[in-house]
Amino acid sequence: MPAPRYRVFATCNIGDDALNLLRSRGYEVEVYDHLEAPPKKLIIEKVRSGIDALITTLRDPIDAEVFEAGKGTLKVVAQDAVGFDNINRADANRYRIPFTHTPDVLTEATAEFALFMLGCVARKLYPSERLVRENRWGAWHPFLPFLGDEVTGKTVAVIGTGRIGQAFMKKAVALDVNLLCYDPVYQAQDFINKIQEEMDLRRRHGFTSEGRTVRYVSLEEALAGADFVTLHVPLLREGEAATPTFHLINESALRLMKPTAYLINTSRGPVVDEQALAAALKQGVIAGAALDVFEKEPLPADSPLRDPELEDRVRLFPHFASAGRITRLSPDPDKGMAGRCVHALMAVLESGQSPASIPYVVNKEAFQ
Ligand code: NAD
């Protein structure tokens, strides 16, 4: 049976294959098909026109103004991301409008990118390639013009041991590192035990000459003991959680890290105080950073992180960690964000179930 003629506005082209799934079910889909996000005014206008569903990305601020415009008509906001800090959850709950997200399908892509960023900054991939490209590779020399830092055998602190933090650890084991974990909300002890078993097996098989360990520690211990600190937390501002993550990595946190340590951030920009980070990098408080996310995106031209003095030890990426072809675009809800996004949207509109029991609805609490 064809679905009723639902109207959807997508603030971005999340991929034709997935959007065509909606069209093939009789949905009327309007797409804001531009490189940049639509102005909020336009989103409100579209919502006020009576659409049933709004597809959003992390670039769209969705709050009471939007929900008010959709009072009585807007039935779901489907976010094409796992993070949803751009959506005001309290406002969505007040208006009793469910919103969905796309967990799991981007976990592996994001975790592998974090690991690649870590290797990239530690082993100086960017400055060393530039040397060749700019024809400044004068001669092979044991230590000139610079050296990188090995990853094998080092200690990595994983801050946030949810889906992506755990996927990162699974991959990092092969690099023979010790792992320090910090998560004040969710301690994945069974998972950690399995990682330890794998580390022990690698030792028994002679894949590594030394035993490696994984354990939960305090934030202070994680920061002080690590050669690399990788962030995998959601952005939670003051008042949104008992343990907010806004500026979790601030001046005092950076001062706890070793001067030889690197910070890797694929979570959200505001988890790190960028001014404090730039100052710490300049003063040699830490050795370097690899950043995929920023307090303001795209990264402003005058950001202190662009300081040419920092260029060799700071890697900057355009919120790219989940940007694998399949991960971003597959219409398969078990493979792609776009697929999971539209399937979650259809489930809310078509299943007839309470949002409280629909997978990928974030704010289930509003419907219980
Ligand atoms: P998740 O919810 O599975 O895991 C997050 C973990 O952080 C949870 O275990 C939670 O308990 C923990 N946490 C919460 N507050 C904390 C705190 N104060 N200190 C330490 N840990 C805390 O989420 P996920 O799927 O692993 O995704 C994590 C985040 O990564 C997303 O919210 C999103 O912002 C970001 N992300 C970025 C990209 C990218 O392209 N750069 C891609 C995917 C996800």
CA-closest residue to ligand 1 atom 9: 162
Q: Are residues 72 and 187 in the same domain?
A: no
State whether the beta carbon of 183 lies less than 6 angstroms from ligand 1.
Answer: yes
Q: Are residues 48 and 136 in the same domain?
A: no
DSSP characters over 25-58: TT-EEEE--SSSPPPHHHHHHHHHTT-SEEEE-T
Assigned domain for 2 exists: no
CA-closest residue to ligand 1 atom 30: 267
Q: Are residues 25 and 132 in the same domain?
A: no
Q: What's the pLDDT at 5?
A: 86
CA-closest residue to ligand 1 atom 14: 233
**CA 65 – ligand 1 centroid, Å:** 27
Assigned domain for 117 exists: yes
DSSP characters over 84-133: -TTB-HHHHHHTT--EE---STTHHHHHHHHHHHHHHHHTTHHHHHHHHH
Assigned domain for 354 exists: yes
> Tokens in use for 33?
């098909």
Q: Are residues 167 and 202 in the same domain?
A: yes
CA-closest residue to ligand 1 atom 37: 267
Assigned domain for 289 exists: yes
Q: What is the mean pLDDT of residues 330-337?
A: 98
Assigned domain for 1 exists: no
Q: What's the pLDDT tens digit per position in 17-43?
A: 999 999 999 999 999 999 999 999 999
State whether the beta carbon of 330 lies less than 6 angstroms from ligand 1.
Answer: no
**CA 176 – ligand 1 centroid, Å:** 24
State whether the beta carbon of 184 lies less than 6 angstroms from ligand 1.
Answer: yes
> How much of the chain, in percent, has pLDDT values that exceed 90?
98
Q: What's the pLDDT tens digit per position in 297-317?
A: 999 999 999 999 999 999 999
Assigned domain for 178 exists: yes
Q: How many CB atoms lie within 10 A of CB 7?
A: 16
> Tokens in use for 146?
């610079």
Q: Are residues 168 and 246 in the same domain?
A: yes
Q: Are residues 283 and 140 in the same domain?
A: yes
Q: What is the mean pLDDT of the chain?
A: 97
Instruction: Decide: 283 and 307 in contact? Cβ < 8 Å.
Output: no
Atom of ligand 1 nearest to the CA of 165: 26
**Which amino acids are annotated catalytic?**
268, 297, 319
Q: Are residues 243 and 201 in the same domain?
A: yes
Assigned domain for 359 exists: yes
Q: What's the pLDDT tens digit per position in 163-213?
A: 999 999 999 999 999 999 999 999 999 999 999 999 999 999 999 999 999
pLDDT at 123 exceeding the cut of 90: yes
The CA distance from 314 to 307, in Å, is: 9
Assigned domain for 150 exists: yes
Provide the CATH number for the domain around residue 203: 3.40.50.720
DSSP-derived 3-state class of residue 146: coil
State whether the beta carbon of 264 lies less than 6 angstroms from ligand 1.
Answer: no
State whether the beta carbon of 288 lies less than 6 angstroms from ligand 1.
Answer: no
pLDDT at 3 exceeding the cut of 80: no
Q: Are residues 236 and 296 in the same domain?
A: yes
> Tokens in use for 278?
């730039």
Q: Are residues 242 and 275 in the same domain?
A: yes
Q: Are residues 47 and 156 in the same domain?
A: no
Q: What is the pTM of this model?
A: 0.97
State whether the beta carbon of 207 lies less than 6 angstroms from ligand 1.
Answer: no
Q: Are residues 312 and 174 in the same domain?
A: yes
Q: Are residues 41 and 170 in the same domain?
A: no
Number of domains the chain is built from: 2
Q: What's the pLDDT tens digit per position in 245-294?
A: 999 999 999 999 999 999 999 999 999 999 999 999 999 999 999 999 99
Domain coverage including residue 48 = 7-104+325-367
Atom of ligand 1 nearest to the CA of 103: 25
> Tokens in use for 264?
């890797």
pLDDT at 60 exceeding the cut of 80: yes
